Amino acid sequence: MPAINDSKAIDSALTRAVAAGDVPHVVALAADANGPIYEGAAGPRAVGSDDPVSADTMFRIASMTKMVATIGALQQVERGNLDLDAPVTDLLPEFADLQVLDGFDGDTPILRPPQSAATVKQLVTHTAGLGYWFFNADLKRWEEVTGNPNVLSGSKDAFKAPMVADPGTRFEYGINTDWLGRVVEMVSGQSLDVYLSDNVLRPLGMHDTVFLMDDEQRARSTPIHIRNDDGQWVPTDVDWSQQPQWWAAGHGLYATPRDYLAFQRMLLNHGTLDGEQVVSADSIRAAFSNQIGDLDFPETIPTAEPQTTAPFHGGPGLKWGFGLLLNTQSKPGMRATGSGAWAGLFNTHFWVDHASGITGAIYTQSLPFVEPRVFAVYNDFEQALYAALN
């Protein structure tokens, strides 16, 4: 099994990144099938404080929530309650109100009916035509001219956002998983927070993974940081709604890195952790298999809101499974072909590499997403980790 020969190079990569100002702080972890093999951290929980960040610090994991919700949906498929090929409107009739945004006539959105009915599978694979405002300029403008809130508001009005492509015609990363969460609620008969707690989080011992933090958890949480005019990191009070009208399957969880590592280990162990089977090995194989056919994950996703995200440069040969970005080419000195990964808006990132038998994750809390200096820290950690394995 994989083992760390010497963690000094990994530790140095983390401390160097904080000292250079590339990140305000950083936590990194890795595990194999048997348990954790590396844990390291550098920097303060909040810049300007003396309290160090750690693997027990609470982070906003944002879109790393998506894979947790996806596992919930796959459980419902296994239990016979959900058909991935079913039209979304069969479960959520209000989905039929969505139209495709085809540009603008002045400040008036041009909307038309979609050419086909989106399926539940297309929600899981981000091919239903739904987007995010920070990656799609038309959606950003639609929000500006209509005043409609986005999903971070916690308002149900966020579900009025139109499609930006016909279902099945392209990969468009967006609020698909938020709709999927509502599907899980419908077929399970439980609210999403209760369903995921009962069926995913508690079985994995993830007691610090929650939609709303209590006072003790918030006291050990880390704020989101941005750079000031001098390029120095400063903490902010940026957060999503603390009184949401719905539970956000696309972004809503807080978690500690140590908690989420248990989830990663379950994925690495084909659906089982410490004797607790959360989902079947067949479902995990499907999650790590190309589910978008001839469509591709874009090599670059441009930014529509630079203060929120830099352009995402994924590179060539990427596909999407169920909730996971899949690389079809190995990265020399890094993850192997067929690995699954995803990230969160505030610069959290994980991957699961079945071929090498390891999973890793790295965390900070900063904006914009994938700022080049921050993204470089991801790569430095991954390279140092694989170099340290025997």
pLDDT score, position 321: 98
SS3 percent helix, strand, coil of the chain, rounded to 5, is: 30, 20, 45
| 90 pLDDT more than 90 | yes
Task: Give me the residue label for tokens 């659906």.
Answer: 271
Is 254 tagged catalytic?
Answer: no
Contact between residue 364 and residue 373 where contact means Cβ atoms under 8 Å apart: no
| 290 pLDDT more than 90 | yes
Average pLDDT, stretch 47-75? 98
Mean pLDDT of the chain: 97
Q: Per residue in 313-324, is it b (16+ CB within 10 Å) or e — as a string?
A: ebeeebbbbbbb
pLDDT score, position 5: 76
For residue 66, the surrounding DSSP H or E stretch is: helix 65-78
Is 366 tagged catalytic?
Answer: no
For the entire predicted model, the pTM comes to 0.97
pLDDT score, position 17: 98
User: pLDDT tens, 324-369?
Assistant: 999 998 878 999 999 999 999 999 999 999 999 999 999 999 999 9
Rounded Cα–Cα distance for residues 300 and 315 (Å): 7
Q: How far is CA 262 from the centre of its chain?
A: 16
Rounded Cα–Cα distance for residues 349 and 376 (Å): 12
Say which of 38, 63, 140, 339 is annotated catalytic: 63
Contact between residue 67 and residue 324 where contact means Cβ atoms under 8 Å apart: yes
- The single-letter code of the amino acid at 192 is L
Is 63 tagged catalytic?
Answer: yes
Say which of 38, 132, 173, 195 is annotated catalytic: 173
pLDDT band at 1 (very low <50, low <70, confident <90, very high): low
The pair of structure tokens assigned to 168 is 């099945």
Dihedral of the alpha carbons of 65, 69, 71, 76, in degrees to the nearest 10: 170
Hey, what domains does the chain have and what are their CATH numbers?
8-64+208-388 (3.40.710.10)
pLDDT band at 2 (very low <50, low <70, confident <90, very high): confident
pLDDT band at 390 (very low <50, low <70, confident <90, very high): low
pLDDT score, position 315: 87
pLDDT score, position 258: 98
Say which of 38, 66, 221, 260 is annotated catalytic: 66
Q: Tell me which residue of 119, 133, 111, 79 sits closest to 302, measured CA to CA.
A: 133
CB-based contacts of 275, cutoff 8 Å, min separation 6? none
* Helices (H) then strands (E): counts for the chain: 11, 17
